[in-house]
Amino acid sequence: MCSLTLFPPPLQDGQTTLCESNNELLSGSNTQNASPMSLHFPRESLKLHSRTESSSKAAFLDHSETLWMRSAAAWRDGGLTGLLNEITDSNSEVPKWLSVGSGCILALLRWISSFHSSLFPHLTLSSEDMIAEFSQVLNWSDCVVRAFAWHPHTDKFAVALLDESIKIYNPKSTTTPTLKHRLQRNVAAMQWKPLCASALAVACQNCVLVWHVDPCSLSARPSSSCAQVLSHPGHAPVTSIAWSPSGALLLSASPMDTSMMVWDVAAESCVPLQRVGGGGVTFLSWSPDGSHVLASTPSALFRVWETRMWTCERWPCLKGRCQSGCWSPDGSRLLFAVEGETVIYALTFAGAPDISTSSLKGPQAAAVVADLSETTFHTEDGDLIVGGEIQSLAWDPRGERLAVLLKGDPQATNRPAIIAVFKTRTSPIFELLPCGFVQGEPGVEPRLMQFHPNFQHGALLTVCWSSGRITHVPFYFLTSAVPVVGLSGSPSLLHPLERPADFASQSLFTELLS
Amino acid sequence: MFAADSGCWFTQKVLCWRAAASVAWSVLLLPASTAAFVVLSKLSVLHPVQMFADCVSVLLSAGSVFSFVLLAGVIIMVGFLTFEYYTVIPSIACSKVALLGQLLHPRQLLYCLAHGVMGVVVGWSCAVTIGYRYERLAYLCPQKDRDGLLHMCLNEHHLLLLLEGGFVGLSHSLLGVIQNLNYVSFGTVQQHKYLCFKASLPLAAKCSAAQAFYSVRNFVLLYFFLGHIPRAWMCKSLSLHLDSSAHPLDSISGLLDLSLLYLLWISATYLLFSWYMTLLLFRIFVTEAYSFPVQSTFTEEAPQCLPKVLSEKQPMILKFLALQDLSLLSQHSPSRRSQVFSLSQPGGHPHNWNAISKECLSLLADLTQRLVSYHETVATNGRTKSLSSGSDRKTSSESSGTEDLASCRPTFLMKTPASVFLRSVGAGPQSPLTSPFTPDLDSPFASPTLRQLTSPVDPGSPWHGVVQSPHVMRRAPKLWSTSTDSQRNGSPPASPATLPTPKPESSKPSFLAQFFQNRREQLPEASSQALFADGQAHIWALDGLSYLVQASFTEDQFGVVQTTLPSILSSMLLLQEAVDRHFKLPHASSKPVRSTISLGDSSHKTLRFALRATLKTAIYRITTTFGAHLHAVQLSAEHRKRLQHFLEYKE
């Protein structure tokens, strides 16, 4: 087992990673060329809400209403606890037994809920904190770009911004539609529907929105009637969504809800798949071949669902919850990272189960494939510590590059968040080789990353930075494996592997060693 | 009832067993729900030990065993009726009158009657189980009469429970028609039966409690007004006396007995819950995926193979299950796909693929044809032709016309409710208001109960009792009202008391007439729903075809799919065109109102949206798989252009 010491050292100050070519990461100084595709959303340009909605209550004068009216309003706004609160507070107007009784019930409810939340501590978080806690985005609440989604088939992408709007960029059209909706608040994730040109699912605080943005439309502000609202009581906030690769179903997950929802989007109906253990579902990832779904929970437990009969395997972790995970293109291998640990694990699954073999036999234990514990690099600008916990994982659609977003330490200046990129090979054996670090301008941290789903010349990693800039880092290579049929048309010829660089010859992990 | 002998093996070998298994499970689950009912009926917070002892003694008594046997009989009967009346294609009433026609269908009346009788039986079991003052129908009168003789007196509490059971059973069966309870829909995802059942259990409990609450409310109101009739009838037929010392129950003080209301509610919930369980189990068992062999080595098994079964007409569920199986195998099973793509051994013909693709394509062509002809009807006349109601175009258009007129000014055609009856009985076919169901207005079913039962179909719709709605005026086309105008002027007035003077006070008596007039009006989007009633079959056909075509890119060794690819593409594109045109119609793209809590499956209301999405996805699935190779496929220029949109992701 090897570590980050095998990686080429990080860049000096003032250098940014531009691309990978001939097996080397090339860098340049940051000022010269902002590539035409890169976008910049300065924080100042966004019109943010200065005040949260709950605080506006104080701005209005107190108005005396009858107890009935207030109770009704409290019932509407706050449900049973709101009603009980109202009755307890207005003890001068109601009979004593009523206010005392409701006070007792309230105390009892609080006691029960405290017991419940001591079991699952995440339930005490506010929904915004909860999204920040479980999001794949580093430091989500402070992030200008809150979510990013490439279209699976074309070169367009959607960007969700801090001001609750979503912009859609398409290189082939001059209009950039801006999507706004009353319910579109605190966007945690977005995904385009596969095998469709227009549908974009957005995980919001209270619901899932599915926008239908006509690619031929010239409208810059599609009306909110273009959005379908998918909501289910108790299923909020939604922190993760996943379309099935066949485009038929949409999964949504909320840490507050023990069931994950399988949506038939067109019919706006859902089937809850409930498993109580874990106390919620935080992160979903559908394997590219559609046969498995990873669903992690807020506890030290995650599940791998099989999508034919929707049965699941439980995978208890030792230390913490599963923070992130990604699938190999053929869906046979799952890499995942656990909170509190600095390693990447791998699970191997048998190929797509045939209809005749209903019970699939999964792996028995996860194997550690990479150790990302802290490593100190001595550079000219001083020591730089790289490594630590993992925020998110991304595997390019050909299965050749694996990007790992490391959390870093916001307090320490010499331990920034950084993206480490591995070279991977899935066939004939699984191999992991170091590639390098992707760095941005000085003082700017990567927050979110995603691979382009069908980049012709290798892999294209899109990184959203803390400054509000979005850049694309291409990795040019010739693919060694047969490309995935169906995405790029006719299968191309096999090409010989390129010359291996000297550091790359030291493989981090191969199945032969373990 | 399944006359066709070709699908008979399926009914005998699979369906009956599935239905029997579901009924057996519901009988097995009956003790649990009965125990819960007993505990709830004996509930007393202050004496938990005594309550427990009571419950145990009740559950172990001989009477409860007998009533349990009776209840098991009821469950078996309910299961049998469910099996007889289930359908995989919902019957969608295009107007309220058509709905009334469905309700009054003799077959349906039989169903309702059976449920009413079974409700009475369940009510009796409940009464016996609860015990106390509810246990017996008659008791010894406390007072002697003038002659000093002791008489048997009627126990009204017992009677109340019996009647309530009957009422709840009847209203359950009537509501079942309105909510399409007999419609069996197939789930979006495949799950094991136990998990399905577990997931739907809370819903069943919630639904039965809510439904029981409303039923009890209605029953109590009904009993308050009409309770003396059954009581007197009971006394008379069984020669029982009324206890003068006991308080009559059809009074406010008699009915406002909390424990009585609670017991009524609990027993109604129990009744509905056990029936809903039977229904749910039946649905889960009967929609379980069935794996048909693609091909068989034995000729006698050939009728049971997928290509043959797909083309069966009866029973409908066989076709549905076959299409579901096709869709599943095309997605999940490489080995069965290879059988589909295989060639026949002597001869080398792709019989399997040909049969499957032919059937799927004919399904799609059928839907396309239906959509096109519907669209032509609408486009040429500017009015919709009702599909399922017996009173078709004439009635619908003319009623709309009159209704338009009625909303603008008080109608003069109808003055009084009497004139409605007069015309409906005697005026004959020349009357514009005749409809086959109008004479039923004075039938005993036209009670407030019925009106209240028909209303929950679409409570959010503007047709709900409101006549002067702005929607009504907006919906009526202009051309139309002029045509009815001329007709109105030309036709002799049907009622003798007509004067074409629009006076506000004359609108008052015509309210009832307008009420029924509106009921005959087309329900918005209902005709669109009816068009796509069997959309699930088309969805599976599209899924199956597109997945098979996608798989053929790598798995089809002999190129059997290639020969049909042009026709698959063109039929999909034709359907896409027809669907697109259909969704441009006014009511087609309006979303149905979210149904309130009910076990009735409302998925048929959104089938057209699901079909549209599936169709698009299916075409994209083919275009992304084949990419530029599709340029080599023989297609018409128009289709090629359309396909190019898909290739560029612009649809």
pLDDT in tens, B267-282: 999 999 999 999 999 9
B625 contacts in chain A (CB < 8 Å):
485-486
The answer to whether B185 contacts chain A (CB < 8 Å) is no
The mean per-residue pLDDT over the stretch B350-359 comes to 92
Q: What is the pLDDT of residue A11?
A: 83
The token pair at A268 is 């706006």
Q: Which residues have a Cβ under 8 Å from the Cβ of B256 and sit 6 or more positions away?
A: none
Residues of B numbered 256-315 whose beta carbons fall under 8 angstroms of chain A's beta carbons: which are they?
Answer: 291
Cβ contact B497:B415 at 8 Å = yes
The Cα-based distances of B420 to B15, B439, B481, B489, B516 in angstroms read 48, 9, 22, 19, 10
Residues shown for chain A? 514
Q: Residue B574's pLDDT band (boundaries 50, 70, 90)?
A: very high
**Residue of chain A whose Cα is closest to the Cα of B595:** A269
Q: What is the pLDDT of residue A363?
A: 63
- What is the tens place of the pLDDT at every residue in B195-241? 989 988 998 999 999 999 999 999 999 988 887 888 888 888 877 77
Q: Is B597 exposed, middle or buried (0-12, 13-18, 19+ CB in 10 A)?
A: exposed
Q: What is the pLDDT of residue B503?
A: 42
Contact at CB, B621 and A356, closer than 8 angstroms? no
How many angstroms away from the CA of B489 is the closest CA of chain A?
44
Q: What is the pLDDT of residue A460?
A: 93
Spatial separation of the C-alpha atoms in residues A385 and A364, rounded to whole Å: 35
B617 contacts in chain A (CB < 8 Å):
195-196, 246-248
Q: What is the pLDDT of residue A36?
A: 57
A420: Cα within 13 Å, side-chain hemisphere = 34
Q: What is the pLDDT of residue A89?
A: 79
Say if residue B250's pLDDT is above 80: no
Q: What is the pLDDT of residue A7?
A: 86
- Closest C-alpha to A407, from A337, A321, A319, A345: A337
Say if residue B472's pLDDT is above 50: no
Contact at CB, A308 and B190, closer than 8 angstroms? yes
Q: Is the peptide bond before A428 cis (omega within 30 degrees of 0)?
A: yes
Q: Is A309 exposed, middle or buried (0-12, 13-18, 19+ CB in 10 A)?
A: middle
Contact at CB, B621 and A311, closer than 8 angstroms? no
The token pair at B91 is 């019957």
Question: At residue B349, what is the residue type?
Answer: H
Q: Is the peptide bond before A255 cis (omega within 30 degrees of 0)?
A: no
Contact at CB, B627 and A248, closer than 8 angstroms? no
Classify residue B500 by its DSSP letter: -
Sign of the CA dihedral with B244 first, then B249, B251, and B254 last: positive
CB pairs under 8 A between A and B: 108
Q: Which of A323-327, B260-264, B554-558 is predicted most confidently?
A: A323-327
Of B199, B610, B629, the CB nearest to A266: B610
Of A153, A267, A310, the CB nearest to B191: A310
Contact at CB, A153 and B621, closer than 8 angstroms? no
Cβ contact A221:A177 at 8 Å = yes
Cβ contact B571:B368 at 8 Å = yes
Sign of the CA dihedral with B598 first, then B603, B604, and B609 last: positive
- What is the tens place of the pLDDT at every residue in B387-414? 443 333 333 333 333 333 333 333 333 3
Low-confidence stretches of chain A (pLDDT beneath 70)? 1-2, 30-37, 47-64, 78, 351-364, 480-514
Cβ contact A248:A236 at 8 Å = no
Q: What is the pLDDT of residue B524?
A: 64
CA angle A325, A331, A334 (to 5 degrees): 30
Spatial separation of the C-alpha atoms in residues B270 and B187, rounded to whole Å: 27
| DSSP-based three-state secondary structure for B394 | helix
The mean per-residue pLDDT over the stretch B488-513 comes to 45
Cβ contact B510:B415 at 8 Å = yes
The token pair at A424 is 């991977």
Angle between helices B96-103 and B156-178 (to 10 degrees): 130
The DSSP code sequence of A73-91 is HHHHHHHHHHHHHHHHHTT
In our burial notation (b when 16+ CB lie closer than 10 A, e otherwise), range A424-463 reads bbbeeebbbbbbbbbbbbeebbbbbbbbbbbbeebbbbbb
Q: Is the peptide bond before B315 cis (omega within 30 degrees of 0)?
A: yes
The token pair at B79 is 């299961």
Spatial separation of the C-alpha atoms in residues B209 and B268, rounded to whole Å: 8
Contact at CB, B189 and A269, closer than 8 angstroms? no
Contact at CB, B624 and A487, closer than 8 angstroms? yes
Q: What is the pLDDT of residue A354?
A: 45
How many angstroms away from the CA of A130 is the closest CA of chain B?
27
- Closest C-alpha to B10, from B320, B256, B266: B320
A196 contacts in chain B (CB < 8 Å):
613, 616-617, 620
Contact at CB, B332 and A355, closer than 8 angstroms? yes
How many angstroms away from the CA of B595 is the closest CA of chain A?
11
A216 contacts in chain B (CB < 8 Å):
650
Q: How far apart are the first and last CA of chain A?
A: 9
Phi, psi of A136 (to 5 degrees): -80, -10
Angle between helices A96-119 and A67-89 (to 10 degrees): 60
CA angle B280, B284, B288 (to 5 degrees): 170
Q: What is the pLDDT of residue B55?
A: 81
How many angstroms away from the CA of B607 is the closest CA of chain A?
7
The token pair at B197 is 């059942």
Cβ contact A86:A70 at 8 Å = yes
H or E segment at A459?
A: strand A458-465
Q: What is the pLDDT of residue A349?
A: 84
Domain boundaries, chain A: 1-28+326-350+365-479+499-507, 68-124, 127-316
Strands, E assignment, A206-339: 208-212, 227-230, 240-243, 250-253, 259-264, 269-274, 283-286, 292-296, 301-306, 311-316, 322-327, 333-338
Contact at CB, A486 and B624, closer than 8 angstroms? yes
| DSSP-based three-state secondary structure for B223 | helix
Contact at CB, B628 and A266, closer than 8 angstroms? no
Q: What is the pLDDT of residue A262?
A: 94
The answer to whether B553 contacts chain A (CB < 8 Å) is yes
Name the more confident of A214 and B48: A214
CATH of A127-316, one of 2.130.10.10, 2.60.40.10, 3.30.70.270, 1.10.3720.10: 2.130.10.10
The mean per-residue pLDDT over the stretch B466-478 comes to 39
- What is the tens place of the pLDDT at every residue in B143-186? 766 666 777 777 888 888 899 999 999 999 988 888 888 888 88
Domain boundaries, chain B: 9-287, 299-382+522-648
The mean per-residue pLDDT over the stretch B623-646 comes to 91
Contact at CB, A489 and B651, closer than 8 angstroms? no
Q: Which residues have a Cβ under 8 Å from the Cβ of A326 and sit 6 or more positions away?
A: A285, A334, A335, A336, A393, A394, A395, A402
Residues of B numbered 193-212 whose beta carbons fall under 8 angstroms of chain A's beta carbons: which are they?
Answer: 195, 199
Angle between helices B258-286 and B62-85 (to 10 degrees): 50
* ipTM confidence score: 0.85
H or E segment at A375?
A: strand A375-379
**Residue of chain A whose Cα is closest to the Cα of B546:** A246
Beta partners for A17?
A27
Say if residue B247's pLDDT is above 90: no
Q: Residue B455's pLDDT band (boundaries 50, 70, 90)?
A: very low
Q: What is the pLDDT of residue A288?
A: 92
| DSSP-based three-state secondary structure for B112 | helix
How many angstroms away from the CA of A341 is the closest CA of chain B?
35
Of A198, A269, A487, the CB nearest to B188: A269
Beta partners for A208?
A203, A230
The Cα-based distances of B229 to B118, B222, B249 in angstroms read 21, 11, 12
B291 contacts in chain A (CB < 8 Å):
355
Contact at CB, B617 and A247, closer than 8 angstroms? yes
